[in-house]
Structure 1
Amino acid sequence: MDFLKSAVASAIAKGSSFPVSLGDRVDIGDSIWTLHNGTRREDGSACSVFTFDIAANKSRLPLAKNAVRKSRTLRHPGVIKVLDTIENETNLYIVTERVVPLEWHVKRRSLSEETAKWGIYTVSSTLKFINEDASSVHGAVRASSVYTSESGEWKLGGFDILSSMKEDDAIIYTYGSLVPDAARFTPPEVVKGGWDAIKRHPLAAVDAYGLGILIFEVFNGSFSGGDQVGKTTNIPPSMQQSYKRLCTANPKLRLSPAHFVEQGKKHGGFFQTSLIRLTEDMESLGLKDDAEREEFINELDNLSDDFPEDFFKMKVLPELLKSVEFGGGGPKVLSATLKIGSKLSADEFNAKLTPVIVRLFGNPDRALRVCLLDNLPLMIDNLPQKIVNDKIFPQMTSGFTDIAPVVREQTVKAVLSVVGKLSDRVINGELLKFLARTANDEQPGIRTNTTICLGKIAKNLGESTRSKVLIAAFTRSIRDPFVHARNAGLLALSATIDTFTDEDCAGKILPAICPALLDKEKLVRDQANKTLELYIQRVRKFGSTMADTVLQPPTSSTSEANKSDARIGNSNDKSWAGWAISSFTNKLAAADGEIAPTAVPSKQSEDIPRPASVPRPTTSSPSIQSQPANKTLRPAAHPLSRSQSDRPVPVVQDEWHDAEEGDDVFDAWGAIEDDDDDDKGVDPFTAAVTSPNPSSPDPTATKASAVPYDDGGEPDFAGWLAAKNQAKTKNPLPKGLTKSTPAAKTVAKPRVVAPVKKIDTKPKDEDEDDGWGDAWD
């Protein structure tokens, strides 16, 4: 039957003329009222609706009507805010702000001590107002009469028997006992003498007793009866003495709610908490001076996370925003504002904070700008991408060129927070231009942070510009005079190694890292070694996957391939110059055959193609025998100032030694200069070149000519040079290269003919001529 009546009442409430739409029913325990969540039709705001069914509780109708009347007239921050009251023949309605029964939190024991003290302080202050200012008695103070608002504040309700003691026919005298479960909460003097006993005792005695029961319920979760009154179980030690005085059996000795608040507010009292002080200072925040505002912010920072978040969202945050935007709250108030705002949902943040933040970014106050940039990580997740890209970032860009270094530095740091919500056009256009400026900033810290910033946003850069920009920025940073900038460049290269191609790693980055290996700072040297090792490992790994060669396989015959291999040296030769030496000696080995003893070269021999390193054939002397060309020739060192063709070649009879045998190359080159012939007055070059004619009457010359010069089978380059010089209109050797002897002065110098060497006339491939010997022409 009760369900049917409730359904009918709900149907009536849902009529088009009813200003509120009823929602879910809320359980509030023993009460003459039924609580529903509701929505106001005029603006869609949330509300609560207390409904009283007249037919079902006709005997308690006076209590309901008294509650409606008192709710309209009683106004206090600690009292439930009434939006509207509706009366008809079947129901009474009290439309209030959205509230939740305090009993929900009490039974779950979900209230922290600080929150409980804050709530008890609010209820005590409200009772002080009712008792002293309104000269009234609530009469039903308990947990079921207290509610919490959306902001987490405790609100006093249950005005069923609220009565003014100035009225002779106050409802509390007649209907006080009709309150549900009155016997459990009634004070001892009322139990003995009835509600008229209120007239004979202090006005606040009844409500003080109820306040003591409320305190017990809050800290213990429930209250079973009078035997628990005054027990200090779970009551904070600082509050126990005053709590006992609230619950004393003698009403004249009880501590009134006003005195209870006064004792709690004393220095070191139980109501001296950060949350309570914050509540009291909130409304006057805009009127405080700098010192008072500083103290307020310090109190705000001391609040722990177990304080009611709803209170900060609904009450503290709006006041802080007003103070920041209009009251000169400054950076500290803004920091507190953003800290609270980080706990808002995305919708709440956009509704309450986003418009203010956008306006603050346009504020010329540098302190506010720096504070906003510093706190961007706390709010960036709640800011829409379009707002960041179109409204916030354009105002941030002025910070890149600000004259204050701290603004420039914080702007660079803030890039890491906003880059994820910027478009590609903005990142690869405007942002990189501004970062290019800060990379050359006069402040070394800003240059360092720019390098770090680029390293962290590398993945956000476009593929077409990423490698080019990062290599230029990081390699420049490695050369920075500031040690931490150099270290940051190396760290950034290590972190972004996957960004670069293998060719860039080997050709651009490794050469830039190497100078840092000898940096004056050990910090940089150590990091350079680590970074270098990373890049070397990557380059080696890539090199191991490359093909052995990109040359096309040979298509000529096997003999030509073998001949080509002979010219370029053996690929198995491991000496550093083995291929070059082999190429030189194999040219000589390729000139097979004997030297023809003809005096004048034939036309056919002149037309035969020859390598540049083979001398032009001349007439040969009959006394000179052809020698087999089967040994290697050791080249001599020549002055750099003379051309190769005008330089005589000394003939040294010792053979070339393989480089792997460990001979010192520089000692071998110096042996020519220390020849013992110099000490005898005979130049080794002249001795080889000016061989006398066998027909000379000089016995010394005859003896010398009897045995032709034998260099072990190699071509007579010395003789060839002498003949060539004779052919050039007797052009002598340069001054100082030859030494004249007495015997040489008396002997006419005959024409010396060099032997002719047969040359392989088979044409060679063009790629076989590697240019060796061209200088000998």
Structure 2
Amino acid sequence: MDFIKSAVASAMAAQGPSFPYSFGDKVDIDASIWTLYNGTRRADGSNCSIFSFDVAANKSRLPLAKNALKKLRTMRHPGVIKVLDAVETDSYIYIATERVVPLRWHVKRKSLSPETIKWGLYSIARTVKFINEEGSSIHGSLRVASIYTSESGEWKLGGFEVLSNVKDDEAIIYTYGSLVPDSTRFAPPELARSGWDAIKKSPHSAVDSYNFGTTIYEVFNGDFMGASEAGQTKGIPPTMHAGYKRLVNTNPKARITVGVFLEQGRRSGGFFDSPLIKLTEGIDNLGVKSEEERAEILDDLDQLTDDFPEDFFKMKVLPELLKSVEFGGGGPKAFGVVMKIAAKLTNDDFEARVQPVVVRLFGNPDRAIRVCLLDNLPSMIDRLPQKVVNDKIFPHMASGFTDLAPIVREQTLKSVLVVIHKLSDRIINGELLKYLAKTANDEQPGIRTNTTICLGKIAKNLGSSNRAKVLIAAFTRSLRDPFVHARNAALMALAATGEFFTEEECATRILPVVCPSLIDKEKLVREQANKTMDIYLQRIRKAAASMPDSALPPSQTADGAAPRMSTPQSTSEASSWAGWAISSFTNKLSAASGEMQTSSNGVPAASPSPGPEPKRVASSTSSASALHRQAVKSPSPTPLSRNSTMSAPDAYFKDPSPIESNEFASDAWGDMGDMNDDDAGDAWGEPSDSAAAVNDDAWSTPTITTTSSKPAKKTTPAVSSQSFDDGTKPDFAGWLAAQAQKKTPGGAAKPLPKGLAKSSAKKPLASRSASASAKTTVAKTIDMKPKDTGGDDDGWGDGW
């Protein structure tokens, strides 16, 4: 049926004068001479409402419809329904207005809060006061049915069917007042007794005062059923009781006017003294108001609770506040209210009304605005599209990382956690990490600490290719920060991000830098360091438990040759840090055979072909081993004896295990050719100038002769006829010296291990030999004690 009526109305509009509006759905209203439709403007599709009057169906009430059209066109007030266009023919009257909804809908659903009702009544009271006083008129049919709410939530007054000027003796209210639907139910007592002419005998405002009182009762309690309910205070706020009773007084001359009621409510502490009402009076043109007025209005806004009328704030307050923030100096305080209102907006409304302004505000250089934006970013980030954040917001936001004001840098850093899920991988692993690297070196310790925390929280968002590298570099650096909370934050971040590191990184890169924190001067750091260490140690132990016992290939004993390198065989030897590390050499000397030969430069070399084992030669102290006898028979200069200078590594083997005779494999030490004794001495450092002879029962005590006139320079060893026992350790120093002289494929000398090479420049070999032969030999006693290095352990540590 509604569809048919709408179609008929559209056809009628097409046949009559031009009416540039389209009819929509019919709206349910109270008993009225009008039929209300939702409509749209054809030109731009904007919303409107259309009041339609069918002349044929309501011919007796045609004067009421014509009077309403006339008064709506001439009555200009913010509290009156705004007319957009109207068409009047012999068949119909159409009035297009702003989109409105009957107030009755809200009253029936009880969707209005007490503060919103007060705000609405205040608006209607102002409008009725204007009609009665400035307009010298009587509304005549004031009730909930004649009040509508606009799209902004404001209450608008309609129902002008009998609105009349009291100066007009032929006013329509006297003749047609009784034709208004439900007029009897809402008529004041004097009219019910004497008819509408009784208006002339009483103050002209008496009718509207009484009807305003019944409207108060309706909005708080529902339908007003008749004069018997007038004066009942059920549901009405206590502060309004006195004024309400005087409005509905049965004596029209004793009633107060709506204007008086309005003034009573606006007094300090009155029922109309509320932040919401103050806001509606001052919100228009907020940007052009003085700073004091603007501050007062914003203070009232801050006091508002969540029960404010959403539509009014969306349509009226929000645009004014946004203009004030962007152009009128409203500042952060106004923007805070904007965010409070925006929380109740739909996503479409937010995108259309708030988002464009937010994007422009991020480009504003005002620091206060920037900090306010960053503070409110959590409440709006979910409504901002990712493209907008990446392309329009983050480029402006990033300038805060390098701002001179620490508060801007800190708030920008904290906001990273808010926007991280909206940023692209390119920005996160590119621009963002560059900015975080700067804040990690910030002069403010709090910003450095927060950077570490931020990196720990966004670790999962970093690219897997460089995540571990970035985190380890950042956290290990923070561990050296002089600020205690920065160090503690680094330890906590390492504990929280352990899943992103491999076991090898945990063992080799993280634990070594965490260990110093175990003895940090601050207990807070020490305790956290222990917790972090436990986490990583548990992980490493778990990984180590799944590893094989050894990564070495299986022993190959097919040809009877023992492996060159092996681990200590006995438990005691393995547990001793001073035990031999190269057990295959000491345990397999019996495999060595053949005669030792001397190369042209004086360094002993292995015989190319094994020969028969020479006979043992008796010694006064012990029998010499085959290896020693072969060395003695060699025509080369005598090698260094036990009393020669010991190198740094040699000093750690004070009690070597005896070496069984004939068990030294010559090839196990590598090629020992191309190196003379002089170079071997140079490789381990020069002997001490003052030395005491070392007596050792296991070693013979040969004397060393030198041809140098300078005590601390090169020595030329002489062959001693004394033999030494076979139970000594191998000539480790000689072997290292031989290794240093081995030639690389390119012909260069193979360098000694780090920490063992001599720093002083060497003379050429030929020059040294010539110089040595031209000088007399001087017996010299060699100090066996290790040199004092000043307590620095790094030398040998680096070497090993």
Q: Please classify the TM superposition score into its range, dividing by the shorter chain length.
A: 0.7 to 0.9
Question: 5+ residue gaps in structure 2?
Answer: 594-605, 627-641, 660-692, 712-719, 739-800
Structure 1 residue runs of 5 or longer lacking an equivalent are: 595-604, 611-615, 630-637, 656-682, 689-716, 736-749, 758-768
Contact 2:555 2:563 in 1 (8 A): no
State the distance in 1 between where 2:482 and 2:299 align: 42
Q: Hey, what's the Cα distance between the residues in 1 that align with 2:705 and 2:6?
A: 139
Q: Find the aligned partners of 2:506 and 2:581 in 1 and give their Cα distance.
A: 35
Q: Deviation at 1:166?
A: 1.8
Matches within 5 A, 1:455-470: 455-470=456-471
Measure the CA separation in 1 of the matches of 2:321 and 2:620.
Answer: 118
Question: SS in structure 2 opposite 1:59?
Answer: helix
Q: Where does 1:240-279 land on structure 2 (aligned, <5 Å)?
A: 240-279=241-280
Q: Tell me if 1:542 matches 2:543.
A: yes
Equivalent position of 2:410 in the other structure = 409
Tell me the equivalent position of 2:576. Answer: 577
Contact 1:620 1:754 in 2 (8 A): no
CA drift of 1:143 comes to: 1.0
1:327 Cα deviation after fit: 1.7
Structure 1 position 639, deviation (Å): 8.0
Once residues 165 and 706 of structure 2 are traced to their aligned partners in structure 1, the CA distance between those partners, rounded to angstroms, is 147
Question: Are the structure 2 counterparts of residues 163 and 574 from structure 1 closer, same or farther at C-alpha, using a change threshold of 3 Å?
Answer: farther
Go from structure 1 to structure 2 and tell me whether the alpha carbon gap of 1:774 and 1:304 turns closer, same or farther (over 3 Å shift): same
Structure 2 counterpart of 1:620: 617
Cα separation, partners in 2 of 1:639 and 1:141, compared to 1, 3 Å: farther
- Structure 2 residue identity aligned to 1:378: S
Root mean square deviation, CA, Å: 4.0
**Match of 1:338?**
339
| Paired position in structure 2 for 1:668 | none
Alignment of 1:498-509 (within 5 A): 498-509=499-510
1:518 aligns with 2:522: no
1:369 aligns with 2:370: yes
1:342 CA drift (Å): 3.3
Q: CA contact under 8 A between 2:82 and 2:97: conserved in structure 1?
A: yes
Give the aligned partner of residue 449 of structure 2: 448
| Number of equivalenced pairs | 666
Question: What's 1:587 paired with?
Answer: 586
In the superposition, relative to structure 1, how do residues 581 and 428 fare at CA in structure 2: closer, same or farther (>3 Å)?
A: closer
Change over 3 Å in CA distance of 1:756–1:221 after alignment to 2: closer
State the identity %: 58
1:231 aligned to 2:232? yes
Give the letter aligned to residue 112 of structure 1.
S
Aligned match of 2:216:
215
Whichever residue aligns with residue 78 of structure 1, its letter is G
Matched residue, 1:104 = 105
* CA distances 1:51-89 after superposition (whole Å, capped 9, x unpaired): 122222222121111111111111111111111112233
The one-letter code matched in structure 2 to 1:410 is Q
* 2:84 maps to 1:83: yes
Aligned pairs (5 A) from 1:294-305: 294-305=295-306
Q: Mean Cα displacement is larger for which, 226-235 or 79-88?
A: 79-88
2:138 corresponds in structure 1 to 137
> Relative to structure 1, is the Cα distance of residues 188 and 573 closer, same or farther in structure 2, using a 3 angstrom cutoff?
same
Code of the aligned partner of 1:21: S
Distance in structure 2 (CA, Å) of the matches to 1:233 and 1:136: 31
Q: 2:634 maps to what in 1?
A: none
Amino acid at match of 2:323: K
Scaled by the length of structure 1, what TM-score is found? 0.77
Contact 2:136 2:166 in 1 (8 A): yes
Equivalent residue, structure 2, for 1:702: none
1:702-748 deviation line (CA, Å, top 9, x unaligned) = xxxxxxxxxxxxxxx64xx46xx49x9999xxx9xxxxxxxxxxxxx
Letter in 2 for 1:576: S
Rounded to whole Å, the distance in 1 between the matches of 2:449 and 2:567 is: 52
- Identify if the C-alpha distance between structure 1 residues 627 and 359 changes in structure 2 by more than 3 Å, giving closer, same or farther: closer
Q: Is the 8 A contact 2:210 2:247 kept in 1?
A: yes
* CA deviation after TM superposition for structure 1 residue 583, in Å: 6.0
Q: Distance in 1 between matches of 2:126 and 2:650?
A: 119
Residue 206 (structure 2) pairs with residue 205 (structure 1): yes
Amino acid at match of 2:365: P
CA contact (8 A) 1:644 1:775 kept: no
Paired position in structure 2 for 1:663: none
1:641 paired to 2:672? no
Given the superposition, is the C-alpha separation of residues 39 and 575 from structure 1 closer, same or farther in structure 2, using an over 3 Å criterion? same
Render the CA deviation track for 1:382-420: whole Å, top value 9, x for unaligned: 223333222222222322222222222222222223333
Distance 2:473 2:448 in 1: 14
Report the residue type matching 1:89 in the other structure. Answer: D
Q: CA deviation at 1:263?
A: 0.4
1:383 aligned partner, one-letter code: L
| Matching residue of 1:12 | 12
- Report the TM-score when normalising by structure 2: 0.75
* Equivalence map 1:728-739=2 (5 Å): none
Residue of structure 1 in register with 2:69 after alignment = 68
- The Cα shift of 1:24 comes to 1.4
Deviation string 1:208-259 (CA, Å, 9 cap, x unpaired) is 1111111111111222222111101111111111111111111111121100
Deviation digits for residues 553-582 of structure 1, max 9, x if unmatched? Answer: 33443966xx55996433766852389459
Cα pair distance change 1:364/1:621, threshold 3 Å: closer
Q: Distance in 1 between matches of 2:232 and 2:648?
A: 119
Whether contact under 8 Å (1:70, 1:159) holds in the other structure is yes
Residue type of the alignment partner of 1:8: V
Aligned residues of 2:564 and 2:585 also touching (Cα < 8 A): no
Correspondence list, 1:115-134, <5 A: 115-134=116-135
Indicate the SS of the match to 2:575.
Answer: coil
Q: Is the 8 A contact 1:51 1:94 kept in 2?
A: yes
Distance 2:71 2:622 in 1: 145
Cα deviation, 1:609-644, whole Å, max 9, x if unaligned, reads 69xxxxx96752499998999xxxxxxxx8893369
For residues 677-756 of structure 1, the aligned pairs below 5 Å read 685=695, 718=699, 721=700, 725=702
Pick closer, same or farther for the CA change 1:211–1:654 going to 2, 3 Å.
same
Structure 2: which amino acid aligns with 1:513?
V
Residue 483 of structure 1: aligned partner: 484
Distance 1:382 1:3, change over 3 A: closer
**Equivalents in 2 of 1:62, 1:98: separation in Å?**
25
Is contact 2:624–2:726 with CA below 8 Å preserved after alignment?
A: no
Contact 1:438 1:447 in 2 (8 A): yes
C-alpha distance 117-559 of structure 1, shift in aligned 2 (>3 A)? same
Q: Distance in 2 between matches of 1:510 and 1:644?
A: 29
Q: Is the 8 A contact 1:617 1:755 kept in 2?
A: no
Query: 2:682: which partner in 1?
Result: none
Q: CA 1:211–1:433 in 2, change beyond 3 Å: closer, same or farther?
A: same
CA distance in 2, matches of 1:178, 1:27: 21
Counterpart Cα distance in 1 of 2:619 and 2:538: 67
Q: Give the conservation status (yes or no) of the 8 Å contact 1:86–1:93.
A: yes
Q: Report the residue type matching 2:569 in the other structure.
A: N
3-state SS of paired residue (2:24):
strand
Distance 1:565 1:156, change over 3 A: same
**Per-residue CA distance 1:84-113 (angstroms, 9 max, x = gap):** 112233322111111111111111112111
- SS of the aligned residue for 2:204 comes to coil
